[in-house]
Structure 1
Amino acid sequence: MQSLDWLVLSFTLLFIVVYGAWKTKGQKSVQEYIKGGNDTKWWTIGLSVMATQASAITFLSTPGQAFNSGMGFVQFYFGLPVAMVIICLVFIPIYHKLKVYTAYEYLEGRFDKKTRILTAILFLIQRGLAAGITIFAPAIILSAVLGWDLIILNIIIGFLVIVYTVSGGTKAVSVTQKQQMAVIFAGMFITFYIILQYLPKEITFSKAIAIAGASGKMQILDFSWDLNNRYTVWTGILGGTFLMLSYFGTDQSQVQRYLSGKSLKESQLGLIFNGILKVPMQFFILLVGVMVFVFYQFNSSPLNFNPKAEEAVIKSEYAKQYKELQRNHKSIEEEKKVLFFNKLTKESKKQLIFLNKKDLELKEQAKSLIKKSNTKVETNDKDYVFISFILDYLPKGLVGLLLAVILSAAMSSTASELNALASTTTIDLYKRNVSQEHSDKHYVKVSKWFTFMWGIIAISVACVANLFDNLIQLVNIIGSIFYGNVLGIFLLAFFIKFVRGPAVFLAAIITQVLIIVIWYLEILPYLWLNLLGCVIVMILASLIELISEKNKRS
Structure 2
Amino acid sequence: MTMDSLVAGSLSTADYVVFAVMLVLSASIGLYYTWVSSGQRSSEEFLTGGRKMTALPISMSLTASFISSITLMSTPPEVYHYGAIVGLFCVAYILTVVVTSEVFLPVFYRLSITSVYEYLELRFNKATRLMGTVLFMVQTILFTGIIIYGPALALNQVTDMDLWSGIISAGTVCTLYCTLGGLKAVVWTDVFQVGVMLAGYMSVIIKCVILKGGILPIILDAQQGGRLNFWDFDINPLRRYTFWTIVIGGAVGWIAVYGTNQAQVQRYVSCKTITHARVLLGLCFFMVCSVFAGMSLYSFYKNCDPWTAGLVSASDQLMPYLVVDIMTSTPGLPGLFFAAVYSGSLSTMSSIVNALAAVTLEDLIKPYTNMSEKQLSWASKGLSFLFGMLCISMAGLASVMGGMMQTGVTIFGVTGGPLFGVFTLGILCPFANSKGALSGLISGLIVSLSVCIGAQIYPSPPAMTQPLSLTTKGCNFTTADSLNWTATALPTQPSTTTVTVQNSNGIHLLTDDLYFPSYIYFSVIGALIAFTVGLMVSLCTGKEVDLRLILNKEDTTSYHVFKFLKCRVGATRREERFDSVTPTFCDIEMDSAKSRRNNHFIV
Q: TM-score range by the shorter chain?
A: 0.7 to 0.9
Q: Distance in 2 between matches of 1:41 and 1:462?
A: 33
Partner of 1:420: 355
Which residue pairs with 2:315 in the alignment?
382
Query: 5 Å matches for 1:305-320?
Result: none
**Which residue in 2 is equivalent to 1:228?**
238
After the TM superposition, which residues 354-365 of structure 1 pair with which residues of structure 2 at under 5 Å, given as runs?
363=308
Q: Contact (CA 8 Å) 2:237, 2:518: kept in 1 or not?
A: yes
Asked if 1:291 is matched to 2:284, the reply is no
> Cα offset for 1:44?
0.9
Partner of 2:530: 537
Alignment of 1:166-315 (within 5 A): 166-199=179-212, 203-269=213-279, 271=280, 274=281, 277-297=282-302, 303-304=306-307
Instruction: Tell me the equivalent position of 1:520.
Output: 453
Give the whole-Å Cα distance in 2 for the aligned partners of 1:487 and 1:388. 38
Residues 481 and 530 in structure 1, CA contact (< 8 A), matched pair in contact too: yes
- Alignment partners' CA distance in 2, 1:66 and 1:156: 31
Q: Tell me, in whole angstroms, the C-alpha distance in 2 between the residues paired with 1:421 and 1:529.
A: 24
| Counterpart in the other structure of 2:601 | none
Report the CA distance shift for 1:186/1:147 in structure 2 as closer, same or farther (over 3 A). closer
Within the alignment, does 1:450 sit opposite 2:463 as a pair? no
CA contact (8 A) 1:77 1:240 kept: no
Q: Does 1:399 align with 2:392?
A: no
Q: 1:470 aligns with which of 380, 403, 409?
A: 403
Conservation of the 8 A alpha-carbon contact between 2:444 and 2:528: no
CA distance in 2, matches of 1:52, 1:475: 13
- One-letter amino acid of the counterpart of residue 268, structure 1: R
| Shift, 1:63, TM fit | 1.8
Task: Note if 1:86 corresponds to 2:79.
Answer: no
Deviation string, structure 1 residues 428-471 (Cα, Å, up to 9, x no partner): 11112x31x22222112111121122122211210232254421
Contact 2:48 2:266 in 1 (8 A): yes
Q: 3-state DSSP class of the match of 2:278?
A: helix
What corresponds to 1:115 in structure 2? 128
Q: How does 1:8-23 map to 2 (within 5 A)?
A: 8-23=18-33
Shift of 1:69: 2.3
- 1:545 deviates by 2.9
Q: Which residue of 2 aligns with 1:438?
A: 371
| 2:30/2:176 contact within 8 Å kept | no
Q: Distance in 2 between matches of 1:382 and 1:472?
A: 10
Residue identity over aligned pairs, in percent, reads 28
- What is the CA distance between 1:51 and its match in structure 2? 0.4
**Structure 2 equivalent of residue 42 of structure 1:** 55
Aligned counterparts of 2:104 and 2:424: Cα–Cα separation in 1: 10
Deviations 1:251-303 (A, max 9, x none): 1111112221121110012x2xx2xx322320221201211321335xx8564
Name the CA distance, whole Å, in 2 between partners of 1:448 and 1:127. 18
The structure that is helix-richer by fraction is 1
Alignment CA distance shift 1:534-1:60 (3 Å): same
RMSD over aligned Cα atoms? 2.0
Distance 1:115 1:267, change over 3 A: same
CA distance in 1, matches of 2:214, 2:15: 30
Please tell me whether the aligned partners of residues 19 and 339 of structure 2 are also in contact (alpha carbons under 8 angstroms). yes
Partner Cα separation in structure 2 for residue 237 and residue 220 of structure 1: 12
Once the 2 structures are TM-superposed, how far is the Cα of residue 547 of structure 1 from its aligned partner? 4.2
Amino acid at match of 1:481: V
Q: CA deviation at 1:402?
A: 0.9
Report the alpha carbon displacement of residue 548 of structure 1 after superposing the two structures with TM.
Answer: 5.8
Greater mean alpha carbon deviation, residues 148-157 or residues 133-142: 148-157
With a CA cutoff of 8 Å and minimum separation of 6, indicate the structure with the bigger relative contact order. Answer: 1
Deviations 1:374-431 (A, max 9, x none): xxxx84x211111012123211111111111011111011100111011111111111
Which sits farther off after the overlay, 173-182 or 129-138?
A: 129-138
Letter in 2 for 1:429: L
Equivalent residue in structure 2 for 1:504, among 437, 440, 455? 437
- Are the equivalent residues in 2 in contact too, given 1:78–1:233 (CA < 8 A)? no
TM-score normalised to structure 1 length: 0.81
Aligned equivalents of 2:231 and 2:107: distance in 1?
Answer: 36
Cα distance change of structure 1 residues 107 and 303 upon mapping to structure 2, 3 Å threshold: closer
Distance 1:236 1:416 in 2: 25
Ranges in structure 2 where 5+ consecutive residues have no aligned partner? 1-10, 456-515, 543-603
Is 1:67 the counterpart of 2:72? The answer is no
Measured in 1, the distance between the counterparts of 2:198 and 2:86 equals 20
Question: Which of 149, 153, 157 pairs up with 1:136?
Answer: 149
1:31 and 2:44 are equivalent in the alignment: yes
Q: Distance in 1 between matches of 2:536 and 2:18?
A: 60
Distance 2:49 2:231 in 1: 40
Q: Is the 8 A contact 1:75 1:232 kept in 2?
A: no
SS of structure 1 residue aligned to 2:226: coil
CA contact (8 A) 1:31 1:37 kept: yes
How many angstroms apart in 2 are the aligned matches of 1:220 and 1:384? 25
SS at match of 2:409: helix
Q: After TM superposition, give the deviation of residue 23 of structure 1 in Å.
A: 2.7
Q: Which residue of 1 aligns with 2:4?
A: none
Q: Distance between the aligned counterparts of 2:525 and 2:165, measured in 1?
A: 40
Partner Cα separation in structure 2 for residue 179 and residue 185 of structure 1:
10
Amino acid paired to 2:426: A
The 1-side partners of 2:398 and 2:46 are apart by: 31
Which residue does the alignment assign to 1:374? Answer: none
SS at match of 2:128: helix
C-alpha distance in 1, partners of 2:48/2:298?
43
Residue 145 of structure 1 is matched in structure 2 by 158
TM-score (norm 2): 0.74
Give the Cα–Cα distance (whole angstroms) in 1 for the partners of residues 218 and 524 of structure 2.
38
Larger radius of gyration: 2
Structure 1 range deviating more: 162-171 or 36-45: 36-45
Partner amino acid for 1:283? V
* Aligned residue in 1 for 2:509: none
SS in 2 for 1:497: coil
Counterparts of 2:34 and 2:304, CA distance in 1:
46
